[in-house]
Amino acid sequence: MRGKWIRFSVFLFLALLILAAAFWGPVLAPYDPLETDFAAKLLPPGRAHWMGTDNVGRDVFSRILCGAGNSFALTFFMIALVSVFGTGIGMVSGYFGGSLDTVLMRITDILLAFPDTVFAIAVVGMLGPGLLNTVAALSFVWWTKYARMARGLASVIRTRDYILQARFGGAGTFKILACYVLPNIVPQVIIMAALDVGGMMLALAGLSFLGLASQPPAPEWGYMLYEGKSYMQTAPWIMIFAGLAIFITVVVFNLLGDSLRDILDPKEE
């Protein structure tokens, strides 16, 4: 058990370090991430620009630091949105059962049949590029696994003795859901949300890379990949450093989620 806590502490430290860099990015950035300098465009990494400059002379290091805040803010907003909505739907479905459960779970099954990223690309392609449409498209399908998980737990919890005792004691439905069912679901929701940070960031970066999410001139890691792909041969550092930022962040948060699951999941030995 001690090894699990050590592993969790290491990845938590790394995750907090990344979040701190994202939060303080505008302060730490040596240059304005939006300032263009055509005289310094496509400069390779050096003393003046640690990670080089892009096609309009903007400092890549500054854009990565400032873009981290945009990437994390959107990722955490999406995770919070889909986890709260999906957990609420699943909890109500599993607790009440019957025809309500059947209807809600059939809707969930239909949406689960669509690959989330492909579905999001189709929706954003029809509605037009933009963050709002991207959030709507991903949220429309991403909440389903939270609903499935919460429904399975709630359907088991509702048969527990303490739920029956609460009913006999006069507790209302809302109190039972809020005080008895939800607290038993939250640990699993936290685990799933932590594991989803990397996946959500990749999905958003992928849509930005296709030019469907973030729009210029705001710095965002996925869109930096999109901007740099035209200069892969002449200025590969634009894509390399943005790709490394995404890769390192996704790996750290995935490993953090795994270590958190080892601690919170009672099934883990």
Question: What are 159-216's pLDDT values in tens digits?
Answer: 888 888 888 888 888 888 888 889 989 988 988 898 888 888 888 888 887 777 666 7
Burial class (CB in 10 A: 0-12, 13-18, 19+), 21: middle
Q: CA 229 to CA 48: how far, in whole Å?
A: 23
How high is the pLDDT of residue 248? 92
How high is the pLDDT of residue 93? 92
Residue 210's φ and ψ, nearest 5 degrees, are -85, 0
Q: What is the DSSP string of 199-257?
A: HHHHHHHHHHHTTSS--TTS--HHHHHHHHGGGTTT-THHHHHHHHHHHHHHHHHHHHH
Kindly state the tokens that stand for 238: 């634009």
How high is the pLDDT of residue 266? 52
State which residues of the chain have pLDDT below 50: none
Q: Which of 190, 201, 183 is closest to 77 using CA atoms?
A: 201
How high is the pLDDT of residue 265? 66
Do residues 235 and 42 lie in contact, with contact meaning Cβ atoms separated by under 8 Å? yes
Q: Is the peptide bond before 217 cis (omega within 30 degrees of 0)?
A: yes
Do residues 206 and 222 lie in contact, with contact meaning Cβ atoms separated by under 8 Å? yes
